[in-house]
């Protein structure tokens, strides 16, 4: 990989809309579009009920991470970022999950866990990998993260802003790995769960220095009336709330992602992996 921060290749010829979008907007901060997808959890709950007792704890977030990995792997044009007003495609399907890490002192910190090759992972493997990584962070064994946090804690706000901008410029615009920072720290998508706060509908802004064009918030699962075969039924539903960089994605491209997510949750036995498989590393 050499000095490169991300292994990429140019998209090639861009449609006229993309060129207009590139000329209209600057880096994420204004080209944001929003959308919400309601997911029926009935088949997923049936799949969860079949898991053995020794299986890692699996949540809706893990399932959505699997579905997003499927979509990014199936449609590579979803897996990229904007650089020099052109689209470059990542060659590895990675995403980041934001989660709270509770330390022995009782303090909680919001941390990011990057999952690499998520398109090849089952739901159980995703759950196990995330749990292992969060435990690693809780025990403060991530020295690079600790050094970065320590540096940011002593810098004044205006220098933090400049440092974040400069790091992103070197890492993504120039595509040179910044010393002390993991390669492509967030991947193509940032995913987090706000359902724990009792929210079912919420949106987050894009994170400019991450170069992740998709940010997804998972809402609280709730029972809602839905129409099934012209009948009203009460089902467990969850809302997936998306913020997307419109320079990178248009409606047609997002529709492909939505289709994959619906397919995954409609048939979890096929798409989430066998219920009796060994966890990652097993």
pLDDT number for residue 282: 44
d(CA 189, CA 113): 12
pLDDT number for residue 26: 63
pLDDT (tens place) for every residue of the chain, 282 residues total: 678 888 888 887 766 656 656 665 666 557 889 999 999 999 999 999 999 988 889 999 999 999 999 999 999 999 999 999 899 999 999 999 999 887 676 677 788 899 999 999 999 999 999 999 998 888 776 666 666 667 766 777 778 888 888 989 999 999 998 877 889 999 999 999 999 999 999 999 999 889 999 999 999 999 999 999 999 999 999 999 999 999 999 899 999 999 999 999 999 999 998 777 654 444
Stated pTM of the model: 0.85
CATH of domain 8-268: 3.30.559.10
The domain ranges of the chain are 8-268
pLDDT number for residue 145: 62
């Amino acid at each position: 990989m050499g000095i490169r921060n991300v292994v990429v290749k140019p998209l090639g010829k861009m449609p006229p809309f993309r060129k207009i979008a590139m000329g209209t907007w600057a880096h994420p901060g204004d080209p944001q579009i929003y959308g919400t997808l309601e997911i029926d959890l009935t088949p997923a709950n049936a799949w969860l009920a079949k898991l053995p007792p020794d299986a890692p704890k699996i949540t809706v977030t893990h399932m959505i991470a699997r579905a997003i990995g499927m979509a990014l792997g199936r449609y590579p044009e979803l897996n990229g970022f904007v650089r020099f007003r052109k689209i470059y495609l990542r060659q590895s399907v990675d995403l980041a999950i934001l989660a709270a890490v509770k330390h022995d002192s009782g303090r909680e910190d919001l941390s990011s866990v990057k999952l690499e090759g998520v398109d090849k992972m089952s739901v159980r493997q995703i759950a196990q990998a995330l749990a292992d990584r969060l435990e690693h962070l809780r025990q403060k064994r991530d020295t690079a993260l600790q050094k970065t946090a320590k540096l940011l804690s002593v810098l004044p706000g205006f220098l933090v802003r400049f440092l974040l901008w400069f790091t992103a410029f070197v890492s993504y615009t120039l595509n040179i790995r910044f010393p002390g920072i993991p390669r492509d720290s967030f991947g193509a998508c940032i995913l987090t769960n706000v359902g724990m706060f009792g929210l079912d509908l919420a949106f987050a802004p894009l994170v400019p220095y991450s170069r992740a064009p998709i940010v997804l918030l998972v809402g609280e699962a709730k029972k809602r009336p839905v129409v099934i075969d012209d009948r009203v039924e009460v089902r467990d539903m969850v809302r997936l709330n998306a913020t997307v960089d419109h320079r990178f994605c248009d409606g047609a491209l997002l529709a492909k992602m939505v289709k994959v997510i619906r397919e995954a949750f409609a048939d979890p036995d096929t798409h989430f992996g066998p219920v009796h498989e060994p966890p990652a590393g097993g």
